[in-house]
Amino acid sequence: MKIGAITAVVVGCGDRACVYAEEGVFSLKKIKVVAAVDPDENRLKYMREHFGVPAKMCFTGQDELLAMGKIADCVINGTMDQYHKQTAIPFLEQGYHMLLEKPIVNNEADLMEIKRIADEHGCILMTCHVLRFAPFYRKIKETILAGAIGKPISIQTSERVGYAHSSMSYIRGKWRKESECGSSLLLAKCCHDLDLLCWLNNSTVPDEVSSFGGRDFITPENAPDGAGTRCLTDCSEEVRRNCIFDVTPMYLNNCLLPWYPWQCTGKDYREISDEEKIDSLKTYNPHGVCAFKAGGDIVDHQVVSIKFANSSTAVHTMVLGCAKPGRSIWISGTRGEIEGRADDGILFLRNYDRKTSAYTEQKFDFCELYGETGGHFGGDKGLMADFCDVLAGKTPSVSYTSIEDSINGHVLVYRADEAMQKGTVVKFVE
Ligand SMILES: NC(=O)c1ccc[n+]([C@@H]2O[C@H](COP(=O)([O-])OP(=O)(O)OC[C@H]3O[C@@H](n4cnc5c(N)ncnc54)[C@H](O)[C@@H]3O)[C@@H](O)[C@H]2O)c1
């Protein structure tokens, strides 16, 4: 394939789309960005300066570009959750292949409509389930496919969202209200995990699901005694000293995810001054509000249990505000087990040992890969490479996330949320 031979339009030129474009253009050298769509002029400026998109091919709305007909091979769609449908369908109807961020959409009817339109127009539509591409999870998949643990009987996963990430994305961040972003916490954060459960156990399909959870801990009633409404305006030093969500250490001194909290300033986070940050936190920035009073309507903990058609089972636990962030997994099979913590990059394969009546253990270490291979335990890079390969007509990897193969995980999320709301067991196929 020629360098930059795949032409792409970036729709929604935010954090995620730029991660993929960066991989495709500069690391893999297989993508050329020929046009960009984003209502935010700053983002378009970045696309011009960083990816060399011609000024006349930068658009604040998609209609002008769509009116030109199909001008590229694919779309990298990195719009926020609530815009996926309206930004995906018109491009698919013109025959653009598409890399579409997760969650695809928040309901089954729209999901199936997008799939139908992609199929009708012969489009490759790939979902950004980046974790499947992380060497850690890929190793698990390959181990299961090789038969090393026999058939999965039970899978247990957890997603512990660290307290800083929880605050910046979910408690004070842009996913804090399902009523605004369209996604429940399970959909926004753990459609990856439920996708993994389906993918790792895909010799069968989900049959029934139950779920419990709620917004029970990060609530106004649980704010520290005497807490104000904004850390930097009416909350005392004494109260803030004992509060894990105080903005001074979390946002000003450490700021682990700087691309989120300063978005509302309209400035690139790499250019904003400390004074501007403080001023925003004191006045209009939602991240300056007391975490306990930030008005979110998503859950802060949820557990999902699934029975598959072959009677194997799975449980996923998701918690906001954890001390140590991370994802863990334990799969017990008919011939052995796999256990690991993705954040520590450590995986164990254990098999029965007849000689000792105990077990053998192999350890796999993925730690050194993390620095080199980028975000999501190395998944971002692998995903983009697979997308380019599929567009070039090559055989996709074992991690490939076609729309077809992403449906079960998404529907499982819809069913789990329904089960939690209704307090009942829900059939996967209704
Ligand atoms: N795969 C993952 O693990 C992962 C991780 C984080 C976020 N995400 C998902 O990626 C998506 C993007 O998240 P982000 O944090 O990069 O968002 P972002 O806010 O940084 O970027 C979204 C961009 O879309 C633009 N936009 C808004 N309306 C638009 C429209 N109608 N047409 C074109 N552009 C429009 C915004 O101005 C913004 O620049 C979300 O769906 C999010 O859930 C996925």
pLDDT tens figures, 177-219: 999 999 999 999 999 999 999 999 998 999 999 999 999 999 9
The pLDDT of residue 98: 98
> What's the 339 CA to ligand 1 centre distance in angstroms?
33
Buried b (16+ CB within 10 A) or exposed e, 233-269: eebeeebbeebebbbeebbbeebebebbbbbebeeeb
Residue 349 CA, ligand 1 centroid: distance in Å: 37
Q: Which residue owns the Cα nearest ligand 1 atom 39?
A: 14
Strands (E) in 50-108, as ranges, are 58-59, 74-77, 97-100
Ligand 1, atom 20, lies closest to the CA of: 14
> Mean pLDDT throughout 312-333?
97
Mean of pLDDT over the chain = 95
Q: What is the dihedral of CA 250, 253, 255, 256, to 10 degrees?
A: -100
pLDDT given for residue 366 in this prediction: 87
Q: Point out which residues pair with 427 in neighbouring strands.
A: 208
Average pLDDT for residues 297-324, to the nearest whole number? 98
What percent of the chain lies above the pLDDT cut of 90? 92
How do residues 254-272 score in pLDDT, each as one tens digit? 999 999 999 999 888 989 9
The pLDDT assigned to 235 comes to 98
Round the CA-based radius of gyration of the chain to a whole number and report it: 22
Q: Is the pLDDT of residue 371 over 60?
A: no
Gap from CA of 242 to ligand 1 centroid (Å): 34
d(CA 270, CA 218): 30
DSSP3 helix / strand / coil % (the chain, rounded to 5): 45, 25, 35
Long-range contacts of residues 95-98, Cβ cutoff 8 Å, at least 24 apart:
95/70, 95/121, 95/122, 95/123, 96/9, 96/70, 96/72, 96/123, 97/73, 97/123, 97/124, 97/125, 97/391, 98/74, 98/123, 98/124, 98/125, 98/126
**Band of residue 2 on the pLDDT scale cut at 50, 70, 90:** low
* Residue 252 DSSP one-character state: I
Dist. CA 105–CA 84, nearest whole Å: 6
Helix (H) or strand (E) holding 338: strand 336-341
Mean pLDDT is lowest, of 121-130, 243-252, 376-385, for: 376-385
Helix axes 403-422 and 108-120, enclosed angle (nearest 10): 170
Ligand 1 atom 42, closest CA: 80
**pLDDT for residue 288:** 98
Per-residue model confidence (pLDDT) at position 373? 41
Q: Name the residue with the closest Cα to ligand 1, atom 40.
A: 80
Residue 381 is predicted with a pLDDT of: 84
> Is the CB of residue 315 less than 8 Å from the CB of residue 332?
no
How far from chain centre, in Å, is Cα 31? 22
Length of the chain: 430
Residue 368 clears pLDDT 80, i.e. is over it: no
Distance from the alpha carbon of residue 80 to the mean position of ligand 1, in angstroms: 4
Which residue has its alpha carbon closest to ligand 1 atom 38?
A: 14
User: Phi-psi bin for 240: left (phi > 0), alpha (psi -120 to 50), beta?
Assistant: alpha
Helices (H), 237-305: 237-241, 247, 274-282
Mutate to test the pocket of ligand 1, among 11, 22, 38, 413 (most ligand atoms within 8 A of CB): 38
Please report how the helices 15-22 and 41-51 are oriented relative to each other, as an axis angle in degrees rounded to 10: 10
pLDDT recorded at residue 254: 96
pLDDT band at 1 (very low <50, low <70, confident <90, very high): low
pLDDT score recorded for residue 88 = 98
pLDDT band at 3 (very low <50, low <70, confident <90, very high): low
40 lines ligand 1 (CB under 6 A): yes
pLDDT, tens digit, 9 for 90 and up, residues 376-418? 777 888 899 999 999 999 999 999 998 888 999 999 999 999 9
pLDDT for residue 306 is more than 60? yes
Average pLDDT over residues 347-351: 98
Please state whether beta strands 426-427 and 206-214 pair in parallel, antiparallel, or not at all (unpaired). Answer: antiparallel
| Residue 372, pLDDT score | 42
Amino acid residing at 148: A
User: How far lies 151's CA from each of 129, 294, 306, 428, in Å?
Assistant: 24, 45, 16, 21
Tens-place pLDDT, residues 74-91: 999 999 999 999 999 999
Per-residue pLDDT band for 52 (boundaries 50, 70, 90) equals very high
Cα(237)–Cα(252) distance, integer angstroms = 15
Structure tokens at 221: 């009633």
pLDDT at site 68: 98
